[in-house]
């Protein structure tokens, strides 16, 4: 459980948290200085220049048009402007770090629905309202929603991102402290919005490996994606890692991340959203050189299934032009993904060991 004792300042448990806190401290300082200055001036003037009966006011029409007045106006325009530009640049620089996942990030998929979080690890482990991650590794979440807009927020990591239906958004972090921290849904999503919460467990590498091994019974996401791929008959038209297809549809080997030339002369980068759109709305972006023959799979694939398919297509990227090879279980993670010791680890698995309950 996350720490339940009274606090005035949140725990900082990610690589970005220190940067956000530093900017916060700077802004608190500036704000305190300005507020106190204004408060002091008001109180001081109110006392010093309090009305004494008998004194007649004098009209000075040109207060602000005098040289002194003009200088004052310029000064109190310029100083806030300069300070706010500092805040602007500082804020943007943090944001750009926050919004760009490092290339070596380990990928985890998150699906939000009213009112739970479903997490899929590349290795196959699944969990609900919990997220187990290793310490000191860059983690990238690719997220989508089955219904309304949600927002995946981990205060201890100082990061959040909206989770949108029909679209993929990402969020990344590197946890720097083991422990349990809150996950909150931060975008109001209906009746049980405040119960759409969970816990992120930051574990050291060894514990994480153990935990992961215990939950990968159904095979990796890419493997699951592959069986879905076969089940839906995608390979009948599309060349993939395991077949050559018959060429009616574009070749999927090495598709992910590449530039796709479209029939209308434009080009598009093949990212998660593109793959999703191509499955749900095949006609929306026709690839140059192919006919409009693909039926829509809208309504036939769940959001989680879609993520598996995407994981499978992504996995083909590394095995370009090498048919008949089953993709490796974990493509984007490094070699620490364990394959042994399953039985032993199961006992040590947290209560939330992945179950297939997440499916329904």
- Asked if 261 and 288 touch (Cβ cutoff 8 Å), the reply is yes
Cα(345)–Cα(341) distance, rounded to whole angstroms?
6
Q: Which of 18, 102, 104, 195 binds other proteins (CB under 8 A)?
A: 195
Query: Based on CB atoms, which residue is closest to other proteins, 15 or 336?
Result: 15
Min. distance of Cβ 227 from other proteins in angstroms?
Answer: 26
Stretch that binds other proteins, among 46-54, 126-134, 207-215, 342-350 (CB under 8 A): 46-54
Q: How far, rounded to the nearest angstrom, does the alpha carbon of residue 121 sit from its chain's CA centroid? A: 14
User: Which token pair is 199?
Assistant: 């816990």
Q: Which of 123, 127, 130, 151 binds other proteins (CB under 8 A)?
A: 151
Q: Which of 18, 29, 41, 326 binds other proteins (CB under 8 A)?
A: 41
| Rg of the chain, C-alpha, whole Å | 28
Q: Does 261 bind other proteins (CB under 8 A)?
A: no
Stretch that binds other proteins, among 22-30, 129-137, 234-242, 250-258 (CB under 8 A): 22-30
Near other proteins in 50-109, by CB under 8 A: 50-53, 55-61, 63-64, 69, 72-73, 76-77, 80-81, 84-85, 87-88, 90-99
Residues 6 or more apart whose Cβ sits within 8 Å of residue 121:
108, 109, 212, 215, 216, 221
Min. distance of Cβ 274 from other proteins in angstroms?
Answer: 13
Strands (E), 62-188: 106-113, 116-121, 126-128, 130-134, 138-145, 150-154, 159-163, 169-174, 179-185
115 cis-preceded (ω within 30 degrees of 0):
yes
Q: Which of 18, 29, 102, 188 binds other proteins (CB under 8 A)?
A: 188
Stretch that binds other proteins, among 120-128, 147-155, 224-232, 246-254 (CB under 8 A): 147-155
Residues 6 or more apart whose Cβ sits within 8 Å of residue 160:
151, 152, 153, 154, 171, 186
Cα(289)–Cα(267) distance, rounded to whole angstroms?
13
- Asked if 198 and 350 touch (Cβ cutoff 8 Å), the reply is no
Q: Does 129 bind other proteins (CB under 8 A)?
A: no
Q: Does 10 bind other proteins (CB under 8 A)?
A: yes
Q: Does 288 bind other proteins (CB under 8 A)?
A: no
Q: Which of 42, 246, 288, 326 binds other proteins (CB under 8 A)?
A: 42
Residues 6 or more apart whose Cβ sits within 8 Å of residue 305:
228
Query: Based on CB atoms, which residue is closest to other proteins, 69 or 321?
Result: 69
Instruction: Tell me, by CB under 8 A, how many residues bind other proteins.
Output: 100
Site track for other proteins across 108-127, x = CB under 8 A: ------x-------------
Min. distance of Cβ 130 from other proteins in angstroms?
Answer: 16
Near other proteins in 322-351, by CB under 8 A: none
Residue with tokens 């009209």: 59
Q: Does 182 bind other proteins (CB under 8 A)?
A: yes
């Amino acid at each position: 459980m996350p720490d339940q004792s009274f606090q005035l300042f949140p725990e900082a448990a990610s690589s970005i948290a220190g940067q956000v806190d530093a900017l916060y401290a700077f802004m608190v300082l500036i704000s305190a200085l300005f507020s106190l200055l204004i408060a002091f001036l008001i109180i001081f003037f109110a006392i010093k220049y309090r009305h004494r009966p008998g004194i007649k006011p004098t009209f000075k029409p040109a207060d602000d048009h005098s040289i002194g007045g003009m200088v004052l106006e310029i000064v109190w325009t310029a100083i806030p402007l300069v300070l706010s530009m500092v805040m602007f640049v500082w804020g943007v620089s943090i944001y750009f770090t926050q919004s760009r996942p490092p290339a070596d990030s380990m990928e985890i998929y998150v699906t939000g629905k009213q009112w739970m979080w479903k997490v899929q690890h590349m290795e196959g482990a699944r969990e609900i309202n919990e997220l187990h991650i290793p310490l000191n590794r860059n983690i990238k979440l690719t997220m989508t929603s089955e219904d309304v807009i949600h927002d995946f927020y981990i205060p201890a990591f100082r990061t959040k991102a909206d989770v949108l239906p029909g679209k993929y958004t990402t969020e990344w972090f590197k946890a720097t402290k083991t422990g349990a921290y809150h996950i909150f849904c931060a975008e109001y999503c209906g009746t049980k919005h405040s119960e759409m919460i969970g816990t992120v467990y930051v574990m050291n590498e060894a514990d994480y490996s153990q935990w992961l091994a215990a939950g990968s019974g159904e095979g990796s996401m890419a493997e699951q994606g592959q069986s879905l791929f076969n089940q839906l008959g995608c390979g009948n038209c599309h060349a993939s890692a395991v077949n050559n297809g018959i060429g009616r549809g574009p070749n999927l080997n090495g598709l992910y991340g590449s530039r796709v030339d479209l029939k209308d002369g434009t080009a598009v980068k093949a990212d998660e959203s593109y793959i999703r759109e191509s499955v749900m709305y095949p006609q929306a972006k026709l690839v140059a050189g192919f006919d409009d023959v693909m039926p829509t799979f809208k309504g036939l694939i769940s959001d989680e299934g879609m993520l598996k398919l995407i994981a499978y297509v992504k996995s083909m990227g590394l095995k370009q032009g090498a048919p008949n090879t089953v993709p490796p279980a974990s493509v984007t993670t490094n070699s620490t993904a364990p394959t042994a010791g399953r039985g032993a680890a199961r006992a040590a698995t947290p209560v939330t060991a992945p179950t297939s309950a997440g499916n329904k």
